Amino acid sequence: MKKEIPKAYDPQEVEDKIYKTWEKSGFFNPNSFVGNRHTCSLQNFSISMPPPNATGVLHLGHASMLAYQDLMIRYNRMKGKNTLWLPGTDHASIATQTKVEKIIAKEGKTKYDLGREKFLERVNEYVENSKSTIKNQTRKMGSSCDWSRERYTLDDGLSRAVREVFTKMFNDKLIYRGDRIVNWCPRCESTLADDEVEHEEQKGKLYYFKYDKDFPITIATTRPETKLGDTAVAVNPKDERYKKYIGKVFEINLGNGKHKIKIISDREVEIKFGTGALGVTPAHSMTDWEMAEKNDLEKIKIIGEDGKMNENAGKDYEGLTVLEAREKIVQYFEKNNLIEKVEEVDQSLSICYRCDTPIEPLPSKQWFVAVDKKITIGGNKYFQNKSLKEIALEVVNKADEKNDKKIEIIPERFEKTYHNWMENLHDWCISRQLWFGHRIPVWYKNESGIRNQESGIDITYFVHGTTIDNEKNKASGHYDVKLSKLGIQQSKDLKKTIENEKFDIVFCSDLKRAVDSASLTFSDRGVKIIQDERLRECDYGDLTQAGASEILVIEKNVIDKPFPKGESYKDVEKRIRDFLNDLIDKYQGKKIAIVAHKAPQLALDVILKNRTWEQAINEDWRKTKEWQAGWKYELNNKFDNSSIVYTMIPKGKKYKNQEIYIGTNPPEGKNWTQDTDTLDTWFSSGLWTFSTLLNQDHEKYKTFEDWVANSPDLKKFHPTSVMETGYDILFFWVARMILMTTYTLGEVPFENVYLHGMVRDKQGKKMSKSLGNGIDPIEMIEKYGTDALRLSMIIGSSPGNDIKMYEEKVEGYRNFVNKLWNVSRYIIMNIDNTKEAGLPIGSPASDATLADKWILNNLNNLTKEVTDDLNNYKFSQAGEKIKEFTWNDFADWYIEISKIEKNKNEILNYILKQVLILFHPFIPFVTEEIWKNLDSENLLMVEKWADRDCREQACPFPTITTARDFEIIQNIIKAIRNARAEYKVEPGKKIEAVIYAGNKKEFIKSQAHLIKNLRTGIDKLEIKEKDDKIKDAVYLVVGDIEIYLEGIIDKEKEKKNLEKKIENIEKYIFQIKTKLGNDDFVGNAPREIVEKEREKFMESEKKIKKLKEKIKSLL
């Protein structure tokens, strides 16, 4: 006994240490791994780790993905391949932004309160945090990925790749900007791609109604509120009821002004549904939009981006939420007796896949990727007058044998799913109105320096009422001062003046005079007043409270240079610009009132009216002089009291007229502003396999082509070997990578796709926080160890099928890991020579026992089968086989035998090592730790794989196939044990046995030591050739061998036993008899099969004869 080894394996004690050893070795990085290459071919093997979202923590889904990938990586590394596993994280724009929004909501804030910049700071802070959590947890799983190559989708290099590809696609006319109906999530305030919309079955009401009394057709709808935007009614052309109306136009009024309804025909309309007539709402339904396109109908947008009805819906509805509007219009219909009936129906509701908010289809101007446009790209073998969709279909097509670079999906059935999805793919909307993500590399020329917006925002600016300071001609700056009596009156007057004006929202500066004016003017109007400190008066610093006359003189001097301790007009301009950009982000198409001060108003002149500061000040002076009384303006005729109306961007201004620049870097020159939209997360994820392999010092390369050509990793590791991921993101991600990569590089992103299933709970339900049925992988690791967790996810699962997880399962594998540990503990503690297997080849051959040959033979078969299985992605089978071998053959039989036969150090050591090698990719920690305890020089992680390809000598011992022979001995032993249990022989009691072995006598004799000593409790064993007399003993038959156990017989029991055995065998014989009696079977079945049946028949006949004889003798 040389070493003290703990009785039980303690994963907590070893895992972190082992991981550190691996990391330190540098072997995660293929550049520094030279380990065992000499025996195997120098192929490359690479996997891009599907980037976990930079949000939250690792869940079981990640754990299973990591287990599979690490398994493949470790296997291939041991095979001697140049192996790279590249880790990273995805910024996951919408998921992350939603998450951070929720966090700041708890602080009572919205993203607008923070502003774009500050909000993004918060997001990045959050991302950094969860990134490090995820990284640590990835390590906990034992992942042997190359951390030196870790990437993040928002890295500099990866971001450039995004801009490069966007630009390239734009130049190839694959990206265009279109005014189309899109999926809009009112909560995220962003568009969504078609597949980011989920459908939920819901009960809904189907209303049957007429637009008005004179309208001849009843239509049915589940969304009455959208009827305010109807411009047609569609009927099936074959529908006799409505044929006469087709082409006619009716004028209706739903209370939002008159509009025309044209009766059109469309084959898509189902005659049997509802009334067979469909109200067409072009702006708010995907189907209707297409009909409108075909029929050239007007598209009236009545629902805004905030999910509320807009002015097109009419005065009664404007500002109402969709549901409020629904109620209201139903009331209207009821009042006017227009409703025929209301039906309960099941409908599918579209919701956002990130926040479950109902989706509004809206027309909007967005960026799209054209998937059906055929293009030709020089040097790209795929794109020769082909579309993205066509190539994506071609590349995943088993039937197409000619295609040399095709992608194989495992399991195969998902290729069908993929095709089905791809064939139905529409142009992909890639712009998002999110803040977090890659800004779209598009710049607009705009004199104001503010992003152009088509829908426009109306700003009505009110300077606050006269204050006490005003009356004294004092400059107030940031000093809080009260309104004078006049000021209060002015504000009240203004309230009356603008009585009929509707504002969506009011902003005021947070200084008292502005707050008071605003609340006097806008009280009781049901409009929200928001204070914003960016609207404050210019801070005049030391001049605050000085006489105004002085300010007037030197006002122009404050343009660039602040007064001491104050700020300049340029500073004011800056904060106002900032404020306006916020408005643009949130208040598209809204009418806004601002109540603030003079300087901010001048800044608006500068920004929106394109004045210089000098001009603005001069104009202001003129006005002031003209009217003498300080703070009244009448620049716009609309109001007669201190107001100015700005329309930030005129409505309907077309982008065609606008100068636009698309490129990787910002354009030269002034007044370019970048589009504030960001790109769909999946756009950057689509580049993941190659953007991560591009050189990170990208600045060196001026062109993209140059950059690509000078990235050695890309050459070496791309296409990646396997893409391992869950089937749930086949479309989101896998499909997009195929689209984007074949287009950009002219090669596929990966050669194989391995899809694993979803991890579910014991009942097969999805794990979720709300159900509380989730299992935390880290908790499992702490309790049972990483290896146990890994095994419990790999064994018993098949590709593409969901896997059920529960704690007992992990516990079971923990037990196995401990068993392996104890196997090694026994061997190490009992073996003198554990040094490297410089095993003298052939030396133990001469005295190799049957058991030796049997176990070695089994090990050889195991090695071959496991290698085959792993090559064919049959991970579960491979793992199960090793486990079975280890536990059953090795531990339960062979080690026990070694205690009897002795001197098996070399073989025990050899088998243990082979098992460790085979098992390492599955359970890296415990195997590495045992390996270390064997005083090995190298890490197991880089040990050569166990099969013939990697080792000169797969097995140093001669192995003859004697499996059958050993099984005879096993069966004899099992039969004796069985009988002992059945006859309740006391454990300690020794028994005597006689075996009649016929011509196997000598063979059985040679193994008598095993029969005696392997828990059979046999004291005296006689082995004879022929059954000379039947003794008064328990009788057993194993094949053609008969066994008598003496001294334990209970005649009644023995009789029953034998009878039962006879019964069973008779049943069996009957089956074989009918088979053999069937001429068709004998004539048609393969000879071997028939022969086997005959053998079985004869054997059973013999057996039954013997048993019958035995029964007779008992009587």
Partner RNA sequence: GGGCGCUUAGCUCAGUUGGCUAGAGCAUCUCGUUUACACCGAGAGGGUCGGGGGUUCGAAUCCCUCAGCGCCCACCA
**Residue 417 in contact with RNA, rule: CB under 7 A:** yes
**Residue 825 in contact with RNA, rule: CB under 7 A:** yes
For 1003, the token pair is 């063979």
For 916, the token pair is 């460790």
Neighbours of 984 (CB within 10 A): 10
Strand 339-352, strand 197-209: pairing: antiparallel
Question: Which long-range contacts (C-beta less than 8 Å, at least 24 apart) are formed by 889-897?
Answer: 889/855, 889/858, 890/823, 890/855, 890/915, 891/819, 891/823, 893/851, 893/855, 893/970, 894/851, 894/855, 895/823, 895/826, 895/827, 896/1014, 896/1015, 897/851, 897/1010, 897/1014
- Choose between 291 and 1033: whose C-beta lies nearer to RNA: 291
Place of tokens 């000499």: 38
Residue of 1084, 1102, 1105, 1108 that binds RNA (CB under 7 A)? 1084
**Residue 268 in contact with RNA, rule: CB under 7 A:** yes
- Pick the stretch among 146-154, 257-265, 894-902, 935-943 that binds RNA (CB under 7 A): 894-902
Q: Which residues contact 435 (CB under 8 A, 6 or more apart)?
A: 97, 111, 116, 119, 120, 123, 585, 678
- Pick the stretch among 53-61, 662-670, 676-684, 823-831 that binds RNA (CB under 7 A): 823-831
Instruction: Looking at 785-849, list the stretches that DSSP marks H as alpha helix, in order from N- to C-terminal side.
Output: 786-794, 807-830
Report yes or no: 173 and 326 within 8 Å, Cβ to Cβ.
Answer: no
Residue of 57, 552, 839, 900 that binds RNA (CB under 7 A)? 900
Q: Which residues contact 566 (CB under 8 A, 6 or more apart)?
A: 477, 538, 539, 540, 541, 542, 543, 544, 558
**Residue 1027 in contact with RNA, rule: CB under 7 A:** no
Q: Any idea what DSSP says for residue 666?
A: P
**Residue 661 in contact with RNA, rule: CB under 7 A:** no
Question: Is the CA virtual torsion 391, 397, 403, 408 positive or negative?
Answer: positive
- Choose between 206 and 546: whose C-beta lies nearer to RNA: 206
- Choose between 194 and 751: whose C-beta lies nearer to RNA: 194
In whole angstroms, how close is the CB of 526 to RNA at the nearest point? Answer: 32
- Pick the stretch among 333-341, 462-470, 1001-1009, 1090-1098 that binds RNA (CB under 7 A): 1090-1098
**Residue 523 in contact with RNA, rule: CB under 7 A:** no
Report yes or no: 963 and 861 within 8 Å, Cβ to Cβ.
Answer: no
Which amino acid is residue 447, in one-letter code?
E
- Choose between 126 and 727: whose C-beta lies nearer to RNA: 727
For residue 221, give the 3-state DSSP assignment: strand
Q: Which of residues 345-404 bind RNA (CB under 7 A)?
A: 345, 347-348
Strand 249-253, strand 232-235: pairing: unpaired
- Choose between 475 and 759: whose C-beta lies nearer to RNA: 759
**Residue 82 in contact with RNA, rule: CB under 7 A:** no
Residue of 371, 1081, 1094, 1111 that binds RNA (CB under 7 A)? 1081
For residues 174 to 193, the per-residue mask of contacts with RNA, x marking binding by CB under 7 A and - elsewhere, is --------------------
Q: Which of residues 1044-1073 bind RNA (CB under 7 A)?
A: 1064-1065, 1067-1068, 1071-1072
**Residue 939 in contact with RNA, rule: CB under 7 A:** no
How many residues bind RNA (CB under 7 A)? The answer is: 98
- Choose between 414 and 704: whose C-beta lies nearer to RNA: 414
- Pick the stretch among 257-265, 298-306, 824-832, 1047-1055 that binds RNA (CB under 7 A): 824-832
Residue of 1080, 1087, 1112, 1115 that binds RNA (CB under 7 A)? 1080
In Å, what is the CA distance from 1068 to each residue of 151, 396, 882, 1062, 1099?
A: 64, 50, 33, 10, 11
Q: Which of residues 134-153 bind RNA (CB under 7 A)?
A: none
For 1084, the token pair is 């048609």
Residue in 1088, 974, 990 with CA at minimum distance from that of residue 1039: 974
- Choose between 272 and 1029: whose C-beta lies nearer to RNA: 272
Q: Which of residues 463-522 bind RNA (CB under 7 A)?
A: none
Residue of 676, 830, 861, 1006 that binds RNA (CB under 7 A)? 830
Residue in 460, 677, 409, 491 with CA at minimum distance from that of residue 590: 460
Residue of 215, 421, 479, 661 that binds RNA (CB under 7 A)? 421
Instruction: Looking at 259-346, list the stretches that DSSP marks H as alpha helix, in order from N- to C-terminal side.
Output: 286-295, 322-335
For residues 858 to 877, the per-residue mask of contacts with RNA, x marking binding by CB under 7 A and - elsewhere, is ------------------xx
In whole angstroms, how close is the CB of 831 to RNA at the nearest point? Answer: 11
Q: Which of residues 989-1018 bind RNA (CB under 7 A)?
A: 1015
- Choose between 58 and 817: whose C-beta lies nearer to RNA: 817
**Residue 534 in contact with RNA, rule: CB under 7 A:** no
- Choose between 297 and 694: whose C-beta lies nearer to RNA: 297
- Choose between 381 and 413: whose C-beta lies nearer to RNA: 413
Q: Which residues contact 902 (CB under 8 A, 6 or more apart)?
A: none
DSSP characters for 802-818?
-EE--HHHHHHHHHHHH
Q: Which of residues 757-816 bind RNA (CB under 7 A)?
A: 762, 764, 796-798, 801, 803-804, 808-809, 812, 814-816
- Choose between 9 and 690: whose C-beta lies nearer to RNA: 9
**Residue 977 in contact with RNA, rule: CB under 7 A:** yes
Packing angle of the helix pair 777-784, 111-140 (nearest 10 deg): 30
**CA-based R_g, the chain, Å:** 41
Strand 175-185, strand 190-192: pairing: antiparallel
